[in-house]
Structure 1
């Protein structure tokens, strides 16, 4: 009936283009990652809804009818406009990256370079004490996390790389006169811990060898000022030595320390810009000579 709505969806159009291009129901179904029976039903539904025969089928051959040839031209044009609209919208998007402190470098610079090469979307940095909680409530789209990752419903985690650790102490500490300290010796000293985003705490050592004195803080500023005041020693990823500038603190190498695991988190079924950011982040975590592959 003229003016009656046609019950077709985007998947019907993409299925039709796939079979027109590949000339085979089997190959077209494989290209779309669906079963051949499901693919055949999709094409039949499209033809029935339009009331037009689009394909001539035989056991060994698939060809477009004249109506199918005309329809293919229109569908390709329409899909091209749709894809362009998606690309334009992606280019206006902003991906919010949550982090608790000191985003790892040069990984973040490489990630931004790769991400911006594939999209016009921008990245906004959001400092938050608990990046996973910020991700869960929608304050950020992706999050950098260090150390143990607690499984969270609806959140997927990607392994990036490991960081070495360094001890952080006050210049007034006896530790400041040393070049290095063994990992197993740190529990003999008062340990300053950031309970929300810290990567080293009493949990880092086995039962029976944990620090007897623990000074708990909840923010990076509280943690670094407690260390500077010589209340105890802190342990942080090596990036801290390059990035923290404080007149009262000193860095000491830690030998035999387990590395700090760095991960990236995002919600399941992310948007196209977030998927591209994750792809760029994973590539940036590779050695430099493999990033362009």
Structure 2
């Protein structure tokens, strides 16, 4: 099951074998044995890699939950004390460092950092115990949220203005250059690149439909970053990216009139009521949020 999950995550037998430190033929045999035992095909194999079948995608959800529960049982049996924090990109600083230090000092436990494209999916599948979520996108069902503070948004675009850049003129005219200061009220003129999994700015920011006229969707932060760098459109991101991303093809601009972007911790309702470690981490996180220099920024 773990072998199948690795191939499903990597979409490649070669990369999954490297991750698991086994040979590719051995990995292929292991996955084949699982498929034979189940009597179904979980993966479509081709020269380009491996893709989940519909049955495989459904099985993966249950497999990841089972593996997470098994790992948790092992940790309990070994008396390991750890809490898993899921995040998608660029943990806020200095909040993260202060929160981790306080939590580990006060509890003697370890905070494990788990990078995932969509922390909420990882939380639902019990791959993490608590998720750091940016932006105001609805988080759904049986979860609770803790608001930490707000981040300021900035705009970002490609340094070289390709055809069809961040702002487009009327049909038949060349695109307008991105101004030195971008205005939120000009959103209808944008082609906005959106990270649908973990982005902070997307169609949900304009529930009345008065936002950008065109969206370019990407599946994770890295795709979003490189799509903006390739000139697919304008990006909007918390200002932590401006401080910590040094991409030669990107230029950041001030963004006026934009609402703040909230930073939240999200956890499963049933976990919060029975986990002393989670409660201690929430306390450390809130304390760090108050003392961070950028806490509460709009």
1:217 and 2:218 matched: yes
Task: State the Cα distance separating 1:119 from its structure 2 match.
Answer: 1.5
Describe the superposition over 1:104-153 as per-residue Cα deviations: whole angstroms up to 9, x where unpaired: 11111111121122021111111112212211221111110112232321
Match of 1:152 in 2: 141
Name the SS for the 2:126 alignment partner. coil
In 1, Cα distance between the equivalents of 2:199 and 2:292?
28
Task: State the Cα distance separating 1:186 from its structure 2 match.
Answer: 3.1
Among 115, 137, 142, the alignment partner of 2:130 is 142
Name the SS for the 1:152 alignment partner. coil
In 1, Cα distance between the equivalents of 2:134 and 2:117?
12
Match of 1:85 in 2: none
Match of 1:26 in 2: none
Name the SS for the 2:204 alignment partner. helix
Q: Is the contact made by 1:193 and 1:214 (CA closer than 8 Å) also made in structure 2?
A: yes
Matches within 5 A, 1:252-263: 252-263=253-264
Q: Is the contact made by 1:131 and 1:143 (CA closer than 8 Å) also made in structure 2?
A: yes
Choose 1 or 2 for highest CA Rg: 1
Q: Give the unaligned 5+ runs of structure 2.
A: 1-76, 167-176
Task: State the Cα distance separating 1:209 from its structure 2 match.
Answer: 2.3
Task: State the Cα distance separating 1:177 from its structure 2 match.
Answer: 6.5
Q: Is the contact made by 2:86 and 2:122 (CA closer than 8 Å) also made in structure 1?
A: yes
In 1, Cα distance between the equivalents of 2:278 and 2:158?
41
In 2, Cα distance between the equivalents of 1:90 and 1:157?
30
Task: State the Cα distance separating 1:237 from its structure 2 match.
Answer: 0.7
Structure 1's 112 and 208: CA in aligned 2 closer, same or farther, altered over 3 A?
closer
1:110 and 2:114 matched: no
In 2, Cα distance between the equivalents of 1:210 and 1:137?
33
Q: Is the contact made by 1:90 and 1:121 (CA closer than 8 Å) also made in structure 2?
A: no
Match of 1:274 in 2: 278
Among 101, 113, 122, the alignment partner of 2:89 is 101
Q: Give the unaligned 5+ runs of structure 1.
A: 1-88
Matches within 5 A, 1:3-22: none
Q: Is the contact made by 1:90 and 1:120 (CA closer than 8 Å) also made in structure 2?
A: no
TM-score (norm 2): 0.62
Match of 2:109 in 1: 121
Q: Is the contact made by 1:192 and 1:214 (CA closer than 8 Å) also made in structure 2?
A: yes
TM-score (norm 1): 0.63
How many residues align? The count is 201
Matches within 5 A, 1:39-78: none
Q: Is the contact made by 1:227 and 1:234 (CA closer than 8 Å) also made in structure 2?
A: yes
1:244 and 2:245 matched: yes
Describe the superposition over 1:241-280 as per-residue Cα deviations: whole angstroms up to 9, x where unpaired: 1121211001001011000011101223242222211110
Structure 1's 271 and 287: CA in aligned 2 closer, same or farther, altered over 3 A?
same
